[in-house]
């Protein structure tokens, strides 16, 4: 099951009602994934700083919060706030991101840096999209493009870390959502593990974010990186990915998982089901089904 959604504003506005739009799309697909929900939203740029979202344990324990704040001091941490299990604060954008991850996550076993970016912020939570809205008020968040996911767990456990979207854990401003199953996940995991890559979950979707990050680090653009998935990843994947300036989807060679999209002069919207697009974005436009092996990327 699971439901994925994505929205991309085609104008120059980087502070539109993004959270409200993505939430409406997710709510339309809530029945596909009652276990957890999450969003990756790209807000207005933050020159000179990265925004970090950190999970301070599943319950956001107060003792972890103080230790995380202390660990982040060397990276210029400022403007720290806490909401639910998540801390949000800024660090210098010239910070060594892997060193930041290592320092902060050494605080405790359940501490996880969920996203880092000049524009990207990820929040996710066990339960429905309504639960996500109640805790984080995502309908008030503004930006230009974003992703959303509702999850029905079929293999791994139900907690915040196993929920989507996934960040690449090291490559700023990259997020993915996925519906499907990567059948060569364990092979890829062993290969990346031999190169020192840490995995945070048993969710096969996590490997997609790591794969794309490594492709982008090698100099490829997002479109070329997503096309590589068609040969390097086996199984079923309707997948959306986004960076600070790009947004796109890829559908596996067998077209096993549903995915539809629309493209107008004002926006691009992608979802597992058409109802998610229609309910969030009233108007007259065509919606079509993505085809097997189709890759589409839009750039700001």
Is 2 annotated in the active site? Answer: yes
The pLDDT, as a whole number, for residue 129 is: 86
The pLDDT, as a whole number, for residue 100 is: 96
Half-sphere exposure for 101 (CA within 13 Å, toward CB):
18
Structural tokens at position 294: 């189709």
The pLDDT, as a whole number, for residue 59 is: 58
Tokens 């700001």: give the residue.
300
Helix-helix angle 62-71:97-105, to 10 degrees: 150
Residue 128 three-state SS: coil
What DSSP letter does each residue of 160-211 carry, written as one string?
Answer: TTTSS-EE-SSSTTEEEEEEEEETTHHHHHHHHHTTTPPP--S-TTHHHHHH
Give Cβ neighbours of residue 288 (< 8 Å, ≥ 6 apart).
Answer: 260, 261, 262
Alpha-helical regions (H) of the chain: 18-28, 62-71, 97-105, 129-136, 185-193, 206-217, 222-232, 274-280
* Lowest model confidence (mean pLDDT) among 131-135, 259-263, 276-280, 292-296: 131-135
pLDDT at 61 over 70: no
Catalytic residue among 2, 31, 64, 239: 2
**Region 187-206 average pLDDT:** 93
Return phi, psi of residue 259, to 5°: -165, 130
Return phi, psi of residue 21, to 5°: -65, -50
* pTM score of the predicted model: 0.94
pLDDT-derived band at 14, boundaries 50, 70, 90: confident
The pLDDT, as a whole number, for residue 152 is: 66
pLDDT at 124 over 70: yes
Residue 4 three-state SS: strand
pLDDT-derived band at 272, boundaries 50, 70, 90: very high
Contact in structure between 88 and 81 (CB atoms under 8 Å): yes
Residue 296 three-state SS: strand
Residue 32 three-state SS: helix
- Return mean pLDDT, the chain: 92
Structural tokens at position 181: 């199953």
Share of the chain above pLDDT 90, in %: 76
Domains recognised in the chain with CATH numbers: 2-45+125-299 (3.60.20.10), 47-118 (3.30.70.2730)
* Lowest model confidence (mean pLDDT) among 54-58, 177-181, 214-218, 226-230: 54-58
**Region 253-274 average pLDDT:** 96
């Amino acid at each position: 099951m699971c439901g994925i959604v994505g929205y991309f504003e085609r104008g120059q506005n980087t502070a539109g009602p993004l959270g409200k739009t993505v939430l409406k799309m997710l709510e339309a697909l809530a029945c596909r994934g009652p276990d957890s929900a999450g969003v990756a939203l790209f807000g207005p740029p933050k020159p000179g700083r990265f925004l970090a979202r950190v999970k301070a344990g599943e319950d956001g324990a107060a003792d972890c919060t103080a230790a995380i704040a202390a660990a982040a001091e060397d990276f210029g941490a400022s403007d720290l706030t806490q909401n639910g299990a998540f801390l949000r604060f800024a660090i210098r954008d010239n910070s060594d991101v892997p060193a930041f991850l290592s320092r902060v996550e050494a605080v405790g076993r359940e501490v996880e840096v969920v996203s880092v970016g000049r524009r990207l912020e990820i929040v996710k939570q066990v339960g429905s999209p309504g639960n996500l809205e109640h805790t984080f008020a995502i309908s008030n968040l503004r930006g230009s493009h974003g992703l959303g996911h509702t999850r029905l767990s079929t293999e791994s456990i139900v907690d915040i870390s196993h929920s989507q979207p996934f960040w690449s854990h090291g490559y700023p401003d990259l997020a993915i959502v996925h519906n499907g199953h990567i059948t060569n996940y364990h092979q890829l995991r062993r290969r990346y593990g031999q190169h020192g890559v840490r995995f945070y979950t048993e969710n096969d979707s996590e490997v997609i974010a790591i794969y794309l990050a490594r492709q982008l680090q090698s100099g490829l653009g997002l479109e070329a990186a997503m096309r590589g998935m068609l040969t390097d990843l086996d199984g079923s994947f309707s997948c959306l990915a986004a960076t600070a300036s790009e947004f796109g989807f890829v559908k596996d060679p067998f077209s096993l998982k549903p995915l539809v999209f629309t493209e107008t002069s004002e926006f691009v919207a992608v979802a597992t089901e058409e109802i998610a697009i229609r309910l969030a974005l009233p108007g007259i436009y065509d919606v079509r089904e993505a085809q097997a092996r189709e890759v589409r990327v839009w750039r700001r």
